[in-house]
Structure 1
Amino acid sequence: MATMRDVAEHAGVSIATVSFVVNGTKHVTDGTRERVETAMRDLGFRRNPVGAALAKGRTSIIALLFPTLERTLSHTAVEFFTSAARRARERGYDLILWPIGSDVEHIDVLARGGLVDGVILMEVKLADPRVSALATNNVPFAMIGRTADPSGLPYVDIDMATSAREAYEHLAALGHRNIAYIYSEGVKYDHGADARARSAYREVAAAHGDPATLIPCLEHPTAGRELGARFAADHPDATAVILLNEHAAPGFLTGLAHAGVRVPEDLSVLSLGSSDYMAAMTDPPMSYMRTPGPELGRLGADAILQRLTEPEDPPLQELLPCEYVPGATMAAPRA
């Protein structure tokens, strides 16, 4: 196996110069770097990423913490991850998905190991113990989502309150006055996005003088199908539904169809916080409020990279609402 000494002799440079190229610890002219890298390829020399990280004092790795032990990874969530990874790569960093729970024990292990330079949190709760654990361990972090009081913290988030109100207004403009709201059962109320959307739904329904009907549903197509099958019997006065449960959405429309409920003639359905991928899975194609996943993924990467490269700057804080995308599941209420 070739060594740094072998590469140095082959390239006609010092061992220190080879070390600078391998570890990126000091500037080397383009010509010298090319000679060293050519020698490395000729000799089959392999970089040691651990050694390089030790030499630089950083790993150039960012961890995206997603609690897959508690939440199923949806296509919309994947959009966050892939766009954040792409932006990190543009800035010379690698992004890894760290699928753990929300307990702080994993945070302590992550911090002590020095495996990553920074962390992006997803599925943030209003009172999230991971935030204080990261701060206590001096691990730079940013959030996709936000706590109840994110003052002074870097975050990017969906403006779920605005998005829920706009979803309601789209249905109200068609004449609907009994609009039910289906949310993800099993998601604790302190989950930031869910809590803000539910609260906004109650407020806008009250402002219109309409009833507020909140219906839980597990995050699974089978649960959606079962709910759809009994929906008309359980909620005969509802003429429209706002659905914040991407995993249950296709099953819900299937259950409605099997029960003889026509969409949108008998019931209008608007998916809140979803993607074109999910909308295309339903028949008819779903009307939905598009989650700005790609945009927030990029901004989330920018937020943590700012913490790493410009820690004295004010933290990046950004809210983006969902965007209404018309489909074929909304119409005026039945007579």
Structure 2
Amino acid sequence: MATMRDVAERANVSIATVSFVINGTKRVAPETRARIEAAIEELDYRRNVVARALASSRTRILALLHPDLEARPNATVIQFVMSAAHGARERGYDLVLWPVNDDEQMSHLLAGGLVDGALLMEVQIRDSRVDRLVASRVPFALIGRTENDDLPFVDIDFATTIDLAVGHLRSFGHQRIALVAQRTKAGNEPGRIMRAKAAYLDAMAALGRPPAVVAVEGTSAGGREAAHKLHDDFPDATAVILVNEGASAGLVKGLRALGRTVPDDLSIISASTTRELGEMIEPSLTVMAAPAPQLGRLAADALIDQLEGVQDTPPHILIPCTLVPGQSVGPAPDRSSTSRPEPKRERNAQTDS
């Protein structure tokens, strides 16, 4: 691994001059700076993070706080993490994934001066992590929202997303639409689930239809449980909006085990997920693809703008999911007749031109 001395020898300057360029502590002649920067590139020199922090009181490290890494992260979470990491790297920062499940872990992070700022994921409506960050004055931005909309955040526009999903299903004649959400601990509900439920309830009220909500674990077993609950508790439902990525495959399998096919007996739209996951399931799912690549990068920008003093007001950014047709939505079946409707299908992304 190259050292600062190696860079100095390659550029034919003193170690002090290399330090001036790296730390920006003293003006260096342009031609000398160019030689040093070329040597840094040729030698693939990387500054020691501890030395850098001592020199500037900044680590240029950002923590991405996720409250629960015991469960396997889903595809959408991974997209958020990767896009935030790429966005941070483009602006000269490193992003580390930091599991924080209790106050002691949070205190260790904040008191140690280990990071310059934090991004928070899986934000809850009432989130103790946010309270601690506000009290500590550590800069932060949210991927999601608490009940306090004055904080800096980027988030999925769930109201628009659910309206688009309901509108798509209604265009196929569906009136009795259920929601399959993710089961959470009492008093510990992520904002995304609460807002998706609220948007669904508003949509059903506007249609004059009673809600049909099922909450299960975000697993294949949870999906099979949802299939049974829909079959037993809401047999008149002809379509489902799924806000539970981990349960999607299990739901389709569970319906099949009950003798119900998708989309002839039940249409499915999976919301806040990825196009790729929808294509992995048979039949391919119609999805409301989450804008994770955009939001992760925007969250990193929002935090770095705070750190660099280029942000006048906290950003409040909402982006809806995008409808990607698959093969899981068809016309609403006629529950009053034993005849099966003509098996018309929506066009999926591969056949659209």
- Equivalent residue letter for 1:90: E
Q: Is residue 183 from structure 1 mapped to residue 190 from structure 2 by the alignment?
A: no
> Contact conserved, 1:225 with 1:256, CA < 8 A, in 2?
yes
**Structure 2 CA distance for partners of 1:292 and 1:6, relative to 1, 3 Å:** closer
- Partner of 2:184, secondary structure, is coil
Structure 1 counterpart of 2:159: 161
Cα distance, 1:333 vs structure 2: 1.1
Q: What's the TM-score once normalised by structure 1's chain length?
A: 0.90
* Structure 2 runs not aligned, ≥5 long: 335-353
Of stretches 308-317 and 244-253 in structure 1, the one that deviates more from structure 2 is 308-317
Cα distance, 1:100 vs structure 2: 2.1
Structure 1 counterpart of 2:20: 20
Structure 1 counterpart of 2:85: 85
User: What is the correspondence of 1:216-255 to structure 2 with a 5 Å cutoff?
Assistant: 216-228=215-227, 231-255=230-254
Structure 2 counterpart of 1:125: 124
Cα distance, 1:4 vs structure 2: 5.8
Divergent runs of 4+, >6 A: 37-46
> Contact conserved, 1:230 with 1:259, CA < 8 A, in 2?
no
> Contact conserved, 1:23 with 1:53, CA < 8 A, in 2?
no
| Overall identity of the aligned pairs, in % | 47
Residue number among 168, 171, 191 corresponding to 1:173 in the alignment = 171
> Contact conserved, 1:229 with 1:258, CA < 8 A, in 2?
no
**Structure 2 CA distance for partners of 1:27 and 1:243, relative to 1, 3 Å:** farther
> Contact conserved, 1:22 with 1:52, CA < 8 A, in 2?
no
Structure 1 counterpart of 2:285: 286
1:265-322 superposed Cα distances (whole Å, 9 cap, x missing partner) = 1001111111112101210000111111001011101110111112661112111111
Structure 2 counterpart of 1:332: 331
Q: Is residue 270 from structure 1 mapped to residue 230 from structure 2 by the alignment?
A: no
* Structure 1 runs not aligned, ≥5 long: none
Structure 2 counterpart of 1:139: 138
User: What is the correspondence of 1:1-16 to structure 2 with a 5 Å cutoff?
Assistant: 8=8, 11-16=11-16
Question: Aligned partners of 1:143, 1:44: CA distance in 2, in Å?
Answer: 34
Structure 1 counterpart of 2:195: 196
Aligned positions, number: 333
Question: Aligned partners of 2:222, 2:13: CA distance in 1, in Å?
Answer: 66
- Partner of 1:248, secondary structure, is helix
Question: Aligned partners of 1:46, 1:320: CA distance in 2, in Å?
Answer: 37
Question: Aligned partners of 2:143, 2:44: CA distance in 1, in Å?
Answer: 41
Structure 2 counterpart of 1:150: 149
**Structure 2 CA distance for partners of 1:261 and 1:35, relative to 1, 3 Å:** same
Question: Aligned partners of 2:59, 2:261: CA distance in 1, in Å?
Answer: 55
**Structure 2 CA distance for partners of 1:38 and 1:145, relative to 1, 3 Å:** closer
Q: What's the TM-score once normalised by structure 2's chain length?
A: 0.86
> Contact conserved, 2:305 with 2:311, CA < 8 A, in 1?
no
- Equivalent residue letter for 2:208: G
Of stretches 284-293 and 35-44 in structure 1, the one that deviates more from structure 2 is 35-44
Of stretches 324-333 and 68-77 in structure 1, the one that deviates more from structure 2 is 68-77
- Partner of 2:81, secondary structure, is helix
Question: Aligned partners of 1:236, 1:36: CA distance in 2, in Å?
Answer: 72
Cα distance, 1:241 vs structure 2: 0.7
- Equivalent residue letter for 2:177: I
1:186-221 superposed Cα distances (whole Å, 9 cap, x missing partner) = 255642111111111112112211120111110111
**Structure 2 CA distance for partners of 1:178 and 1:28, relative to 1, 3 Å:** same
**Structure 2 CA distance for partners of 1:244 and 1:32, relative to 1, 3 Å:** same
Question: Aligned partners of 1:210, 1:56: CA distance in 2, in Å?
Answer: 60
> Contact conserved, 2:230 with 2:237, CA < 8 A, in 1?
no
Cα distance, 1:87 vs structure 2: 1.2
- Equivalent residue letter for 1:175: G
> Contact conserved, 2:139 with 2:303, CA < 8 A, in 1?
yes
Question: Aligned partners of 1:39, 1:162: CA distance in 2, in Å?
Answer: 52
Question: Aligned partners of 2:253, 2:77: CA distance in 1, in Å?
Answer: 23
Question: Aligned partners of 2:92, 2:2: CA distance in 1, in Å?
Answer: 27
